């Protein structure tokens, strides 16, 4: 029997559940997401069960470093008073921990990497994007889009010539990368024959 390297990405139904036309099976992706959440909760519970140690052990240091890293990230990236920043900390901490532990569990040989599937990362990012947009509209109303006004110039409105030249060169080279050798020589000849001002 020949094994394929792509077998590790196959979603296998472990407990088939059919309710009418709905197919809600418990798959290996569901199992590994459950294992990820269980391992994060178990680690945090065991570290903080007795209030922690004054001199932390390795596991307590790991959880404290993770907490401190995400807390510093929130404080540096979110503007406003500290009370506003701290409202978003649990969401960011849980999301960061979930993705981190999914990737760490996926590094174990013959395990399943949940985040390798596009639908998982798309679902996480899309739900967070909608949530942040709704909170932004609830907090700021239509002024949520005020970042695009003249007060704070956007990077899109002042594109330097170096960036636009690099993009133009990439657009010019794309056909020559996909064409045959003779077409590539003709494209290079046309590129060199262009006036320098364009």
- Weakest mean pLDDT among 1-10, 43-52, 138-147, 155-164: 155-164
pTM (2 d.p.): 0.66
Per-residue pLDDT, 35: 93
pLDDT band at 156 (very low <50, low <70, confident <90, very high): very low
Q: Over the chain, what HEC string results?
A: CCCCHHHHHCCCEEECCEECCEECCEEHHHHHHHHHHHHHHHHHHHHHCCCCCCCCCHHHHHHHHHHHHHHHHHHHHCCCCHHHHHHHHHHHHHHHHHHHHHHHHHCCCCCCCHHHCHHHHHHHHHHHHHHHHHHHHHHHHHHHHHHHCCCCCCCCCCCCHHHHHHHHHHHHHHHHHHCCHHHHHHHHHHHHHCCCCC
pLDDT digits (tens, 9 = 90+) for 47-61: 888 887 788 888 889
pLDDT at 21: 87
The stretch 117-125 carries a mean pLDDT of: 90
What integer pLDDT is reported at residue 19 of this predicted model? 87
């Amino acid at each position: 029997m020949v094994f394929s390297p792509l077998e590790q990405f196959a979603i296998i139904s472990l407990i088939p559940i059919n309710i009418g036309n709905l197919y809600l099976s418990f798959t290996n992706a569901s199992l590994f997401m459950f294992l990820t959440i269980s391992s994060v909760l178990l680690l945090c519970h065991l570290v903080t069960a007795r209030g922690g140690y004054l001199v932390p052990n390795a596991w307590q240091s790991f959880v404290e470093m993770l907490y401190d890293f995400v807390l510093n990230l929130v404080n540096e990236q979110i503007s406003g008073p500290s009370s506003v920043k701290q409202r978003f900390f649990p969401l960011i901490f849980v999301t960061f921990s979930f993705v981190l532990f999914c990737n760490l569990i996926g590094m174990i040989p013959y395990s399943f990497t949940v985040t390798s599937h596009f639908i998982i990362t798309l679902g996480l990012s899309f739900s967070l994007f909608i949530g942040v947009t709704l909170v932004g509209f609830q907090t700021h109303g239509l002024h949520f889009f005020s970042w695009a006004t003249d007060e704070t110039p956007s990077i899109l409105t002042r594109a330097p010539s170096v960036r636009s030249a690099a993009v133009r060169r990439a657009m010019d080279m794309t056909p020559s990368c996909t064409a045959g050798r003779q077409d590539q020589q003709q494209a290079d000849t046309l590129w060199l024959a262009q006036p320098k001002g364009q």
